[in-house]
Amino acid sequence: MIDDELYAQVTAWIANDPDEADRAELAQLLLAASESGTGDQAEKAAAELADRFASRLEFGTAGLRGAIGAGPNRMNRAVVRGTTAALARWLLYIDPAAAQAGVAIGCDARHRSDQFAQEAARVLAGAGIVVHLLPPQEPTPLLAFAVGYLRAAAGIMITASHNPPTDNGYKLYLSDGAQIVPPADLEIEAAIRSLGPLSQVPVAAADSPLIIQHGDQIASAYLDAICAVSPAPKGSAWLRFIYTPLHGVAGDLALRAFEQAGFPPPDVV
């Protein structure tokens, strides 16, 4: 049901994919698409593989976003590894001091976000770059704050913002704490395209001394900063707020902010 070119692409990707579950997912699709006489099942598997390998997720001003799954046109560990390896090469090219300044990494609660954050951290450390790993399931503004607070060279946030729950993404912030803008995105995209086999990317151990596991100190500093500029005015005890984190991860931090700034607690929906 699939042609030789697609078959070669899939098998080559499987050989370089660092994730066992993703390799198995592609192998199962390949088996289903290659079997003769299975009708709709084979057609669906072939169509799925064709879509996953029709292109690859491109790096732009929004970073990467896409459906979670195996293959170059999906969000997975292999794509995160390649993107981060290219980012490391680009950062060290534009400023060798980035190795010591480091990169801050945060993630939300989307499926596999913590796994992708760990993958990015290990690749950066493998390139000799210090990593500041924030606690999992924190909101994006905390990562943006952390870049400036830590004086990091860049920041990575694993999130897909408002995308459907089947998606995930990879946002990049530079040393000013703002999301990347041209031409940085185009330069990183070019570095991704020139990257060799993923099997040749150096990857550090999870307990590498270059990976600094941060606790609550960054969140505390963030709350100190925002509460200092937005304290509750006198006589504000009568104010009433309704707050919902919906499917986000800012709930705990928001409640701490209300309390620290001196506002009455909100009604959480």
CB-neighbour burial class of residue 151 (10 A; exposed 0-12, middle 13-18, buried 19+):
exposed
Q: Please tell me the predicted confidence (pLDDT) of residue 61.
A: 85
State mean pLDDT over 116-135. Answer: 98
Residues 6+ apart with CB under 8 A from 77: 17, 18, 19, 22, 115, 116, 119
Q: Is 220 a catalytic residue?
A: no
Fill in the DSSP letter of residue 97. T
Taking residues 187-194, report their average pLDDT: 94
pTM: 0.94
Question: 13-34 pLDDT, tens per residue?
Answer: 999 999 999 999 999 999 999 8
Q: 236 or 69: which carries more pLDDT confidence? A: 69
pLDDT at 39 over 80: no
Q: Can you tell me the distance from the alpha carbon of 3 to that of 34, in angstroms, rounded to the nearest whole number?
A: 9
Question: Burial level of 120, CB count in 10 A (0-12/13-18/19+)?
Answer: buried
Q: Report whether pLDDT(35) > 90.
A: no
- From 36, 113, 161, 230, active-site residue: 161
Q: What pLDDT is recorded for position 225?
A: 97
pLDDT at 38 over 80: no
φ, ψ at 133 (rounded to 5°): -95, 115
